[in-house]
Structure 1
């Protein structure tokens, strides 16, 4: 059986051909998680704990080291210790860990611990799309794994 470290990895996400990251979005006072019209996807560290993943931002910049956290329906970056965790699932709602992801490019869904599927918000003429819990637009994330068995920043020698 793999350890939590062995099931942790670095990756990027996209959907509908656009990269996903934290950015300012019209109508929000804080940066939110969603599609980016320009640039590259934020690099994320998927830290596994008992088949649940905490997503840490590993892209250089203001949000480095922060987690993706749910505030109401939206997701933003956070430094709180009690952060949102996600389950990676297949279209059949089977729980997946890195052990199950055989290629470095996979199509996945994300669920919150409360069982809400991560989708996009539909606002006519409003691009890019924001990611929200249980949104109106079903999305499949394109997961691009960059590094498997990636270390936790505060414990790089973990097995």
Structure 2
């Protein structure tokens, strides 16, 4: 059973604790959907000042909404469109300090002002993306980017 505990120590200590929680949550669980659902819930409980966190999964043609926490969202995103589609097509993490300045941004929640998208890739195979939105501009920094890339790597290895 998962127990929400206060995250103590410095930021790196807190990141390490969340990564350990993720490993425990997905250990020996074969269901990708269950693992993605728990991963989004874990990030939602840990990250302050976010209004959406979840996954879009690549179906061979486009990204399709997967497990998430937040308001209802866009269901399908073509590769190369918006922040999610661009991160997926380019297979690289994208941090956007102000989504209103990102060409072709897809607005699912009008309250979102910044976003980070981390691709989920196994070898050359695109699985999907981890998408996190915040109502604050400039919400995501380099340390969080590295933490979320580690988080995605651990999760992807289990999918």
TM range (shorter): under 0.3
Q: Which is helix-richer, 1 or 2?
A: 2
| Structure of higher RCO (CA pairs closer than 8 Å, 6+ residues apart) | 1
Q: Which is strand-richer, 1 or 2?
A: 1
TM-score by length of 2: 0.28
TM-score by length of 1: 0.28
